[in-house]
Amino acid sequence: MSEHRPWLKNYPTGIPVNIDPDAYATLVELLEETFGKYRKKPAFSCMGKELTFEQVDKLSKQFGAYLHSRGLEPGDKIALMMPNTLQYPIALFGALRAGLVVVNTNPLYTPREMRHQFTDSNAKAIIIAENFAANLEQILKDTSIKTIITTSIGEMLGFPKKQIVNFVVRRLRRMVPKYNIPNTTTFTEALKQGKRFTIKAFQGRADDVVLLQYTGGTTGVSKGAMLTNRNLVANMLQIRAWMMPFLKEAEEIALCPLPLYHIFAFTVNCLALMSFGTRSVLVTNARDLNSVIQAMKDYKITLITGVNTLFNALVNHKDFTTVDFSHLKVTVGGGMAVQRPVAEQWQKLTGCFLAEGYGMTESSPVAAVNPLDGKGRLGTIGLPVSSTDLRIVDHMGNVLGPNQVGEIQIKGPQVMKGYYNRPEETAKTITDGWLSTGDMGQMSEDGFFQIVDRKKDMILVSGFNVYPNEIEEVVASHPKVLECAAIGLPDEKSGEIVKLFVVKKDASLTEKEMIAFCRENLTGYKVPKELEFRTDLPKTNVGKILRRALREEAMKGRK
């Protein structure tokens, strides 16, 4: 068995080869156990206010009962559209307890993107932060949404903080555009009304879809990945199995700067960490780095999850070194490639290894992660987690050996049921249980995997494959560079050329200096032929740099 799974010999002590994805029939069963076990412990904190497991238990029951009282039935879809607030876990667990299918929705979506997601999923209900209600108003008539619950950022913070936060958001920052949607209920009112009802009994099954998580759409139309009870239970148990030997049950404090509607924070922070009694400190707006640093100072943070752009921004922030990191045990990066210079700087400043993990929306998401026992390797995505196989295949689907570059495929109980209402897309993506990721990578002799790049982002220069990740990692190691992105542009002579975008950390950086540095560190055909300095780069709300947006912009400029 281990010759096909060479990674097993590198598993840290105490980590099982397999987990039992059928240990709990449903996600709700696991939640009920968690609420019962840690009742008096703090579960979630946000802006200085905290909720215990007992409070989350009680309030989510009320919310679930309210949803049933409005005529929603198990299997109906409910969209959750808000940043990290205490309302999110209450709404999530309430919806799951009512048997609804959750549709996580990015609050920064435009009306066009909202329309697509709500009509594609056939959502019947929504809970939305009032800041984004004006966008909903524009497209509501095109959807099947009948139950609308609005919430304010400060709603669960208690007096006087609620009033202060809402005053700042509504009046000072003018972050709530006017809207007029009839028959809406506030979150507080829904909880109040829910006290008068109970959740109607229904039979949940392991194979029921409980989450429709839409893919980023960075490679085309956004599709709903159908994640079942079994998928999410499996991934929670896999994450738990990998973290528990290094953590103490019911004693950890995790910083959650990533939005919970993103699959990484959703499964890792909101579900897996919570399931062993961890207190999650929610950051409402991670772009406000001062609030992230303040949260690190206010709590003895033992665990942080994040993405490369956030870690990079933090290590370059003037106040970052004033934080006491003596309690920090685990840092996990996901969602995008972690760049070596960023990981090295993080470890230098915090004393904590930045363990890169890997996964996709379609795999619930975690498929691989670096060991947390000090044997993690920078520049790799680590080893497949328990009960999971990874392999590398060529364009014909043939399995490749160690150190050969091909497409990464994943097999395990966390792989989605398929794309909602898209059987052709599902068939293209999953073959014999193997999920094709669209990521190019390779495996070392002893089972560590490394991402080379997205298949679709690969640049073909004179027949040579050039991976933007490699160029970006080299450029990011230059002391005068803050951020960068590399894209391919059509070229008559060589098919494509590399164009580089750079945000300076030091204003003295010149084009000549940058290109000379690339020449020194990269083979000729990988050296950028065009360079553009920018004050910032377009990103998704999670902080992933949008190469596609840069490519579209550059193409327009060439016409």
Range(s) of the chain covered by CATH 3.30.300.30: 458-558
pLDDT per residue as tens digits for the range 361-418: 999 999 999 999 999 999 999 999 999 999 999 999 999 999 999 999 999 999 999 9
Q: Is the pLDDT of residue 218 over 50?
A: no
| pTM of the full structure | 0.90
Cα–Cα separations (whole angstroms), residue 434 to 215, 371, 414, 422, 451: 18, 24, 11, 17, 18
Predicted confidence (pLDDT) per residue in 64-113, tens digit: 999 999 999 999 999 999 999 999 999 999 999 999 999 999 898 888 88
Instruction: Look up residue 256 and give its two tokens.
Output: 């959650």
Q: With CA atoms as reference, report the closest residue to 439 among 426, 452, 421, 423.
A: 452
Q: Are 502 and 475 in contact (CB under 8 A)?
A: yes
Question: How do residues 459-504 score in pLDDT, each as one tens digit?
Answer: 988 878 788 988 999 999 999 999 999 999 998 888 899 999 999 9
Band (201; pLDDT cuts 50, 70, 90)? very high
The architecture (CATH level 2) of 458-558 comes to 2-Layer Sandwich (3.30)
Find out whether 443 and 479 touch, Cβ atoms under 8 Å.
Answer: no
Both tokens assigned to 290: 């001062």
Using 50, 70 and 90 to split pLDDT, how confident is the model at 217? low
**CATH architecture observed for domain 53-203:** 3-Layer(aba) Sandwich (3.40)
Distance of alpha carbon 107 from alpha carbon 100, whole angstroms: 20
Q: pLDDT over 90 for what percent of the chain?
A: 88
Mean pLDDT of all residues in 433-457: 93
pLDDT at 170: 95
Within 13 Å of residue 358, how many CA atoms lie on the same side as its CB? 30
Given a cut of 50, whether residue 219 has pLDDT beyond it is no
Closest-CA residue to 185 (of 151, 229, 144): 151
Res 462: pLDDT: 83
In the chain, which residues fall in CATH 3.40.50.980? Answer: 53-203
Mean pLDDT, rounded, for 123-140: 98
326-330, 402-406, 440-444, 455-459: least confidently modelled range: 455-459
Q: Are strands 209-214 and 184-186 parallel, antiparallel or unpaired?
A: unpaired
Q: Is the pLDDT of residue 47 over 60?
A: yes
Non-local (6+) Cβ contacts of 540 within 8 A are 216, 218, 546
Cα–Cα distance measured from residue 431 to residue 428, given in angstroms and rounded to the nearest whole number:
7
Count the alpha carbons within 13 Å of 64 in the hemisphere toward its beta carbon: 26
